[in-house]
A and B are shown apart, each in its own frame.
Chain A
Amino acid sequence: MSTTSVLGGVIKRREDPALIQGKGIYVDDVKEVGMLHMAFTRSPYAHARIKSVDTSMASTMPGVVAIYTIDDVRFLGPLPAQVPIGKLRPLLADGVVKHVGEAVVLVVAESPAQAEDAAESVQVDYEPMKAIVDLKEAASNKVKVHDDLESNILHSWTYHGYWDALGLESQKPKIEAAKQREDAIVISQEMVNQRLIPVAIEPRSVMAIWNGGYERFNVQSSSQIPHALSGAIAKTFGLAANAVHVVAPEVGGGFGCKLNVYNDEILACFAAKELGRPVKWTEGRREAANSTIQGRGWVATATLTGTKDGEILGYEIDGLADMGAYTQNFTVAIPLLGLWVASGQYTFPTHFQIDCVVTNTMTTDAYRGAGRPEAIYYLERIIDMYAHQIGMDPLEVRKKNYWKADQFPAQMGCGFSLDSGDYGASAEALAEKADYAGLRAMQEKARAEGRHIGIGVSSYVEVCGFGPAVLAEIGFSWANYGLPASFNGSGLVRVNPDGTATVLIGTGPSGQGHQTTWAQIVSGGLGIPIDNIKVFHGDTAESPMGVGTFGSRSISVDGAATHNATAKIRDKAAKIVAHLLEASEEDIVFADGQAHVSGSPEKSASWAEIAKAAYQAHIAPPGMESGLEAHGCFSPGNATWPFGTHLAVVEVDPDTGNVTLLKYVGADDCGNVVNPMIVDGQVHGGIAQGVGQALFEDSIYDKEGNCLTTSLVDYIIPTAGDLPLFDLTRTVTPSPVNPLGVKGIGEAGTIASAQTIVNAVVDALTPLGVKHIDMPLRPRRVWEAIQDAARHRDSHSMAKS
């Protein structure tokens, strides 16, 4: 048996005709008869005791149908979490508020405006308490965020100690020994990887209907995890798993912020059930900073030990990560994702300790990259500082310390092994695409002309494709969401009686083009023309069990499962064709939308003929079970480990501190590629978000715990005018972890880019003595760094003279 493959080709997206004509349906577009609307009274304090709540005025306002406080919903319990360390979020504030914007009172009214007007009229009397916003202050434990927790430090993730069962040894002694070497150079720098607001352009939205006749919820939500939401609703309300139907229709961007079950989703269900009417809520943009998770928020010190020849002897990172006030889905687990990639593409001994700290701020959780951009940022910044210190080309330093192609699978000190890679080839591809030597020559010339041009490079490795079954042993579990504990993928392929195929998958995409890519996988597996294949996702009643789209996992887990399903169908179809054509099963070839006997193309059967036989017992082989559909499930043995090296060229205006991004080049390796157009698009968007962190984005809190950057006027994401075209190239090192050989590409660009930009800016300013600037590199901060370096230089030369 063999097949004709469409894997690896550019297929225009199936999603687009609807979306480019305004025919895509997002949750906020949905209207139901009798629909009610929710609004929340939110806390103006970051930490306060609630003395009283007076809803009397609000309850008399026009259109108000119901008002609820925690007393009405406490019996439903708090929100679930994947790794439930810390304080779980109550559905509404319970006696105390722990961050600005925490939902205190829920108002349900006939229109959104009426709900909002009434929510503003609720009188809450607060007794303000001290808010802890600064991470170091929180870690000092002088004032506790939660009285009933022992410490503001919820958990410490250490390189050797995160999972006792592995029996790992600390690499710290090796690193300390290296520091004692005579030729050792030790470089250390504290850096901030600032908090970010995800800003999916579609605000989150949920619509819940309680079908009292069938005792069933029908819910639409802009979610990356429809099955987990369904499970969480069932568990919360004590219903059977099949009594909740969740649909994630078009989802307008996710980037991790829709990878959570939120209190508004549970409360919409509660209100719909109580009131017997459909209930909708759509988040406001400014509300989102306090009602949707934020990301990043690390303060850590990176230390690198190496020789003057560029041999790195050890790397350490030690610091704090901001959890916000409440633990939600992956909150406490995010730094662990960073731990797994802490040593990047390199062989050297590594030490990692990140303490998870609670503060009186909005919860943090997975934002594109989730722990991995932070970890790679610290590593690749300190390597660059080291390269500058020893006067060696930063790309050469990296190449000298990579795992070599013949060392894969490479066993890392954290216990996991890198599945496949050729890091040197990737760096070479980058250097060639960018004309690295030419760029350095150009830089030299520009410097001679007094221009401040910088070239930054960085290498990354990503851990994705979640995930291997061992995650359940480490403490991750979807069981808290009423799902199986593991991170399986699944796909159901049905060849219909007319020979077309229907594909049902348990993913929750938000722009990744699954309808297109999965059609390619199935067409590649069966040879059914791609135009005859339709893909459906995000519907828990239609699709098989899935855990959603996040962690760059869909293609390598659910894609592999779907591929396995096609193999089952092909096996059955071959039996049918052999029977129809009176040939041997082994001689059946699937190609060009049909099957034929090897060496006799005239003896053929179309998929319509195969399907007809499959569904009609009198034509099918005797005794064969009717139908032609198969369910594939896949549980990977390891994560997948994409990698790459990126480069940026910037120019800095030293008089204003303004940074202009002149050129951006990326070399990525995500294993086999199903649709290169879609893969490149994912890299483009990923890079833009990393550039956003490097240059513009910053979720700023004041000392009282107010987020000052809740609107898009204050929280600046890149516009078209801020970015150049991106030059991309790729190497292909198939993954041995799954049958498609794919790795995942959703987050790679973001993991690759922030430090690439910072490295370039610092490179530009090295002649001025600048060694490091914390992100975002807005003009003022860059200008101040230049002034500081000048003062430092002056005082230095005065001391010498």
Chain B
Amino acid sequence: MHVSVTVNGRVVGGDVDARTLLVHFLRENLNLTGTHVGCESSYCGACTVLVDGVSTKSCTMLAVQAEGASITTIEGLAQNGALHPVQEGFWERHGLQCGFCTPGMIMSAVGLLEQNNNPTEDEIRHGIEGNLCRCTGYHNIVRAIEYAAAKMRGETPAPAEWEVSV
């Protein structure tokens, strides 16, 4: 079956089996390997992308279901060489270690901040509950998203913990 979608601003197409998942279409047909596969139960969230602006686990969707949709993957987040505030936050606040869950976690956070640009710690935690990280204990991911939220509101982010404590 033929599928035609807009990915990171470019119209692309490809022939896929009806059973091909969106994540496999992105990884195998389009070579966008930044979107990862971490489980078979749509639990880990490593495959999260934006579909028409909404964060979506791309393993829960068939490629053909995305026909005509606009998809943003981690590769398309930075604009003209400038990191998205969420990417910047993850770097500034050590929001990643092994990096495997990171693309999905970042896309999920982008989706969250699109809906609520001033989330509480609790709202951040529940907002990213669908994304599993085994390295960070989520502490610095929360800090990274707080950083990004401040930036997106045009405010100066709170200093890092290591800048204020001994």
Contacts and interface: CB of A to CB of B under 8 A. Distances in A.
B97 A512 contact: yes
B98 A687 contact: no
Given A285-B41, A711-B39, A725-B121, A13 B133 contact: no
A711 B87 contact: no
A593 interface: no
A201 B162 contact: no
B38 A202 contact: yes
B162 A713 contact: no
A680 B139 CA distance: 10
Interface in B25-61: 27, 31-41, 43-44, 46
A416 interface: no
B2 interface: no
Contact of B44 (A255, A286, A677, A712): A712
Interface size class on chain A is: 35 or more
Given A203-B38, A712-B39, A511 B94 contact: no
B68 interface: no
B12 interface: no
A719 B140 CA distance: 13
B136 A251 contact: no
A713 B96 contact: no
A19 B162 contact: no
B53 to A, nearest CB: 18
A23 B38 contact: no
B74 A201 contact: no
A712 B41 contact: yes
B35 A22 contact: yes
Given A12-B91, A253-B135, A712-B43, A25 B33 contact: yes
B162 to A, nearest CB: 5
B78 interface: yes
Nearest to B19: A113
A323 to B, nearest CB: 24
A726 B132 contact: no
A779 interface: no
A269 interface: no
B141 to A, nearest CB: 7
Contacts of B34: 21-24
A583 interface: no
B33 A21 contact: no
A26 interface: yes
A653 B129 CA distance: 22
A749 B102 CA distance: 22
A21 B124 contact: no
Contacts of B133: 201, 720
B157 to A, nearest CB: 14
Given A18-B99, A512-B97, 19 more contacts: A20-B90, A20-B102, A29-B27, A31-B31, A202-B36, A252-B99, A254-B98, A286-B40, A511-B97, A684-B136, A688-B136, A689-B134, A711-B40, A711-B41, A712-B39, A712-B41, A719-B125, A720-B142, A723-B125
B113 to A, nearest CB: 15
A681 B134 contact: no
B94 to A, nearest CB: 5
B76 to A, nearest CB: 9
A24 B46 CA distance: 14
Given A677-B94, A685-B97, A201 B142 contact: no
B94 A13 contact: yes
A13 B38 contact: no
A19 B96 contact: yes
9 nearest CB pairs, A to B: A22-B34, A252-B100, A511-B98, A19-B99, A688-B137, A511-B97, A22-B74, A29-B33, A684-B137
Contact of A719 (B121, B132, B135): B132
Interface in B89-107: 90-92, 94, 96-103, 106
Nearest to A20: B87
Nearest to B102: A19
Contacts of B98: 200-202, 250-254, 510-511
Interface in A574-598: none
Nearest to A510: B98
